[in-house]
Amino acid sequence: MEVSSVCPDRTLPAFGTVLGIDIGGSGIKGALVDVSTGALLSERAHLATPQPATPEAVAQAVRELADRFEFSGLVGCTFPAIVQHGVTRSASNVDKSWIDAPAQDILSLALERPVVLLNDADAAGLAETVFGAAKGVAGTVIVLTLGTGIGSALIVDGRLVSNTELGHLQFKGDIAEKYCSAKAKERHSLGWRTYSKRLNEYLAHLELLFSPDLFILGGGISRKHERFIPELKLRTPVLPAALRNQAGIVGAALVAAWADASH
């Protein structure tokens, strides 16, 4: 795992527009972002993730989405995998050919400009730390994105410990995301009460392992947080992601701006 600094170690970029693209197992979305405020400067564009989600197919889809914005500036992009120095090391919800692929170079070639790539949940965690529900929170914060799988970002005193992949912890005879992701709720036709119970069991396990000061729950399902967060019974406070399902877009744009400023 890598550790990267977040505010207050790093200052916010001056006003600038960056294209943030969030690649997920089922959808690819993007928007122009004001990286000084985290606000979206355009409507979100969305495409279904190609199936099978091979590097060639995903790169083509990302190019198609990026072209909608007629924007030639910086691009930050997320990916649902372990990302180390631009290389994807896992592929749980995309085609296995992404494993050990030079993903950042593949996307840069497709867009004909440099792309900064990072794990999708790490991007969401950064966005929530700088602009959202984790802003100014000391101690240990765990941000979870509940979607096709479960992404995780571990923030300790404002610093990101990247690529934690807590959705892949062994749990209930399988991995956690097969038990209580948003897709698992849909796949097993779970009602909100049953889903809340499953999610509570998983969060209690994380609570035992990490003793966090705060859980933040994001992903598309966070739009309906009032249906399940009040049902959770934990000693740790739980908040919905302030940036909801656009946190990955904002985090990707922010990291691209930081990378550009450091050069």
In the predicted model, what is the mean pLDDT of the chain?
94
- What are the structural domains of the chain? 3-122+246-261 (3.30.420.40), 136-242 (3.30.420.40)
Q: What phi-psi label fits residue 65: left (phi over 0), alpha (psi between -120 and 50 degrees) or beta?
A: alpha
Contact criterion met (CB below 8 Å) for 196 and 228: yes
The whole-number pLDDT of residue 262 equals: 82
pLDDT recorded at residue 92: 83
Q: Which pLDDT belongs to residue 12?
A: 66
What pLDDT does 47 receive?
A: 97
Residues 6+ apart with CB under 8 A from 209: none
pLDDT at 5: 46
Q: What is the pLDDT of residue 6?
A: 47
- At 56 the pLDDT is 97
Enumerate residue ranges in the chain where pLDDT < 50: 1, 3, 5-8
Kindly report, residue by residue over 11-20, the tens digit of the pLDDT. 666 569 999 9
Res 14: pLDDT: 59
- Give residue-wise pLDDT tens across range 64-104: 999 999 999 999 999 999 999 999 999 988 999 999 999 99
pTM here is 0.93
Number of H helices, E strands in the chain: 7, 16
